[in-house]
Amino acid sequence: MVQASAPGKCILFGEHAVVYGQPAVAVAIDQRMSVELSLSNDWRIDGMSFHPDRHPHVEALKQRLWDLGPALSIKISGNIPPASGLGSSAALSVAASAALRCARGRQMVDDDWAEGWTAARPGSIYDGPWTSSKGDSVVNGADCVDEDECAILAHAVEAYAQGGRASPLDSSACAHGGCIVLSDKIEDNLNWIYTRSLNGVSWHVHSVDLSNIDDVWLVIGSTGIHAPTSEQVEKVANLIKEQPGKMREIETIGIVSRRGIAALMNGDMESVGRAMSENHLLLRSLGVSCPELEVLISAAAPSSLGVKLTGAGGGGCMIALTRNPKMTSEAIELAGGRTLISKLASDGMKIDNDDKAPLWNPHE
């Protein structure tokens, strides 16, 4: 058996404004998706026959990493609620990429990769299947798995499953963990890790080290309402078309995000919280909050450093930054929300079991 897992994410700053080039900040959360692979007589997912159209992410990864490979039984588990803006599909894609790479091994030439994707060599990963060349040695198991490769693959298959549109925010946060900043320019003072381009759009991806921050938690409150991201993005686009002055809100979100990032880097959590609450007021003024989110946000505010909706809005989830996770969580639950508690920036993808790797040697 080969098993890998990856965290979900939530957006601390900059949702919606990122569509117009402003920076967005996402952090990995403690909740994870896990993918377990074992050899099987036929393709199965959670014991049922595998239907590519029902699992487009897995199908796209299968084409890229397991083309012609033997049938697998895939078990998916996890505690990230689906379709709630917490990155469940990106976490699944990252975990599945890691598990498939671990199960297949990697051909090497002169101690360098003979196959695979890195930010330095993007190749045609976004366009479709790929075949590798034969190397002079093979690395198997956890040692051949690479965060950057999982992030690229997850971005490619998210784009495939969403008709060509996906920013790398989720895939990068779920692969690397910690705190990820996306922007349309390379941000001074941040650690730029790579630039991704898809369909003529480029995003510069940075990481922020939050490993020194403790004694503060995120409480995520779900409204239980599903509002598709595409509809919320369109709502903002229409608002800006009708009222061009609303572009000021977008620009101000960018300023608030940058202030929030600086506060994060200084470990000044009171300022981080204030920036989050300010970000929320601007999102509200863009029309993407809703009464159910406002109820949860008001309930969480008294025990929190900052509160805001997270992700596309219109439903979905809110987040509270708090030193009292129990009290904040209870307040949100009393107001009718379901809660999850997480550290501020959790670990990235992991191989949890590689005892049986490799499950296939494509060059035998």
Helix or strand or coil: residue 35?
strand
Q: Which residue is nearest to ligand PMV (CB)?
A: 311
Identified binder of ligand PMV from the candidate list 45, 142, 233, 262, rule CB under 6 A:
233
Residue 167 Cβ vs ligand PMV, minimum distance, rounded to whole Å:
5
Residue 16 in contact with ligand PMV, rule: CB under 6 A: yes
Residue 338 parent element (H or E)? strand 338-343
Residue 76 in contact with ligand PMV, rule: CB under 6 A: no
Residue 311 in contact with ligand PMV, rule: CB under 6 A: yes
Residue 229 in contact with ligand PMV, rule: CB under 6 A: yes
Helix or strand or coil: residue 40?
coil
Residue 265 in contact with ligand PMV, rule: CB under 6 A: no
CA 1 to chain centre: 25
Q: Is the Cα torsion angle 208, 268, 333, 301 positive or negative in sign?
A: negative
C-beta of 90 vs 359, nearer to ligand PMV: 90
HSE-up (13 A, CA, CB side) for residue 203? 26
Identified binder of ligand PMV from the candidate list 12, 18, 157, 293, rule CB under 6 A:
18
Determine the angle formed by the axes of helices 56-65 and 88-104, rounding to 10 degrees.
30
C-beta of 109 vs 237, nearer to ligand PMV: 237
C-beta of 312 vs 357, nearer to ligand PMV: 312
C-beta of 171 vs 353, nearer to ligand PMV: 171
CA atoms of 43 and 113, how far apart (whole Å): 29
Q: Is the Cα torsion angle 89, 130, 115, 102 positive or negative in sign?
A: positive
Residue 19 in contact with ligand PMV, rule: CB under 6 A: yes
C-beta of 85 vs 260, nearer to ligand PMV: 85
C-beta of 15 vs 278, nearer to ligand PMV: 15
Residue 25 in contact with ligand PMV, rule: CB under 6 A: no
C-beta of 4 vs 18, nearer to ligand PMV: 18
Identified binder of ligand PMV from the candidate list 8, 78, 81, 85, rule CB under 6 A:
85
Helix residue spans in the chain (DSSP H): 56-65, 88-104, 147-161, 169-176, 229-242, 247-266, 269-285, 291-300, 325-334
CA atoms of 126 and 96, how far apart (whole Å): 17
Identified binder of ligand PMV from the candidate list 4, 125, 312, 318, rule CB under 6 A:
312
CB contact set of 174 (below 8 Å; sequence gap of 6+): 6, 7, 8, 9, 28, 87, 90, 91, 93, 94, 151, 154, 348, 349
CA 125 to chain centre: 19
C-beta of 73 vs 232, nearer to ligand PMV: 232
Residues 161-190 binding ligand PMV (CB under 6 A) are 167
Residue 89 in contact with ligand PMV, rule: CB under 6 A: no
Cα separations in angstroms, 270 against 98, 257, 274: 37, 14, 6
Residue 285 Cβ vs ligand PMV, minimum distance, rounded to whole Å:
15
Residue 230 Cβ vs ligand PMV, minimum distance, rounded to whole Å:
9
- What are the beta bridge partners of residue 318? 221, 309
C-beta of 24 vs 359, nearer to ligand PMV: 24
Residue with tokens 């957006």: 11
HSE-up (13 A, CA, CB side) for residue 238? 8
Residue 15 Cβ vs ligand PMV, minimum distance, rounded to whole Å:
4
Identified binder of ligand PMV from the candidate list 15, 59, 147, 354, rule CB under 6 A:
15
* Footprint on this chain of ligand PMV (rule: CB under 6 A): 11, 15-16, 18-19, 85, 167, 229, 232-233, 311-312, 316
